[in-house]
Every structure is written in structure tokens, then in C-alpha cells.
Amino acid sequence: MAPIKALNTGSVRLTLVVVLVFVALVLTGFVYKMNQPRILNKYELRANGAVELDTPRKFSDFQLTDHHGQPFTQENLKGKWTLIFFGFTHCPDICPTTMAAAARMYAALDEDERENLQVVLISLDPERDTPEQLAKYVPYFNSDFIGVSGNQHVLLKLATELNVAFSRVDLDNGDYTIDHSGNLVLINPYGHYHGFMKPPFEEGSMRLTWRSINASF
């Protein structure tokens, strides 16, 4: 009878190993799935303030200058996602609020996610927002962020193609301000206009929607 007992013991051990391997695979798959971004449908995206275009749009090339004094063109928008905010450094409210929300959202991303996303402030006030001024302002929110400005006509054409409206408003004291749209424009890694996020901005919703859009791209 001893051989039969040994055989039974071996079968039990084999069964136990198979069960343990199966459980480990199930747990690994569960953890992997839990760590994957949730894919939102278009209604959920809109509820979180994000809109994806049915067909991403190409737009004209342009040449501006970043806060390091280097050329900034459409080539700088390829190879990763880009969030563009059209604003200006003298803006008293929505600009710093939006940049701060983008900074919190960006900081909470994983390292590989941050490598796949850049945040760009395009100034609509080139008269005051020189590269030097942008270099003082933009890195305050995050050292990875990029400040850009340039020729007023180039800015107008680019903003128009990306559905961003703005206008200069003269003030009674002789100064001026810029009225402008508050959306964050989303450019995909092909350099195409992919969609936008609408204010008010909450970093958790921004992170959720960007992860969903990135995962489904």
C-alpha cells in the first residue's frame, strides 16, 4: 500500500501547486486591471469637463519662441501629448488658477506619464510677455512647463485654428488686459488638435480624463 500512498501524496502536492499558480495568476491579472486607466465614454468625459473631437484636426505650422529663447514650432508638439493654455502673465485670476491646477495634476502623474505629457502656456500678450518674463513666471508652477510667445499675427492665427477667442481690452488707467477663452487645448502626439478641457479645473478630474484619452488613443 505504501506506493499508493506516495502516489496520492504526489497528486495532492501537484494539485496544490496548480491551484496556487492559478490563484497567483488571477491576483496578478486583477492587480494589473486595477492599475489600468479607466476608459471613459464621451458622456463621462463631458461630465468631467473634457471633449474629444470626433476627428482630430490638423492646423497650420507656426513659429514662436519659448522662455529659453528657442524656436517653438509644430514639431515641438509631436511625440507626446500637449496641454496648451492660452493666457498671459499679468492675468489676475483664471491664468494662475489654471496653471496651478495643471501643476497639481501633472505632479500626481507617474514618471512615465509625465514623460508623455507637456504643459505649455502660450501668451496672448507678447508686448509684455518676453521670453525673460515667461522664464520668471512659468517655471514657478513647474520647472517642466514651457512658456511661449511671439508675433501677434501668428498667435491670432494659431488661437483661431484651435478655437480660442481673445481680445485686448483697454482700461481707464491707460493700461490694458486680455479677455480670452479659459479652455485647455489638448494636442495629440501627432501634433493634431484632439480636444479640450473646460473650466473649472479640478486636478483629479483632469488626471482621470487625460489618462482615459491617452489609454484609448
pLDDT tens sequence across 96-106: 999 999 999 99
Query: Is the CB of residue 64 less than 8 Å from the CB of residue 76?
Result: no
**What gap in Å lies between CA 198 and CA 200, rounded to an integer?**
6
pLDDT for 38? 80
- Which residues of the chain fall below pLDDT 50? 24-35
Q: Which pTM was predicted?
A: 0.83
**What gap in Å lies between CA 117 and CA 111, rounded to an integer?**
10
Show binding-site residues: 91, 95, 180
How does pLDDT run across 161-210, given as a tens digit for each residue? 999 999 999 999 989 999 999 999 999 999 999 999 999 999 999 999 99
pLDDT for 168? 95
CB proximity list for 40: less than 8 A, separation 6 or greater: 48, 208, 209, 212
In single-letter form, the type of residue at position 50 comes to A
**What gap in Å lies between CA 111 and CA 170, rounded to an integer?**
43
Q: HSE on the CB side for 204, CA within 13 Å? A: 0
Show binding-site residues for Cu cation: 91, 95, 180
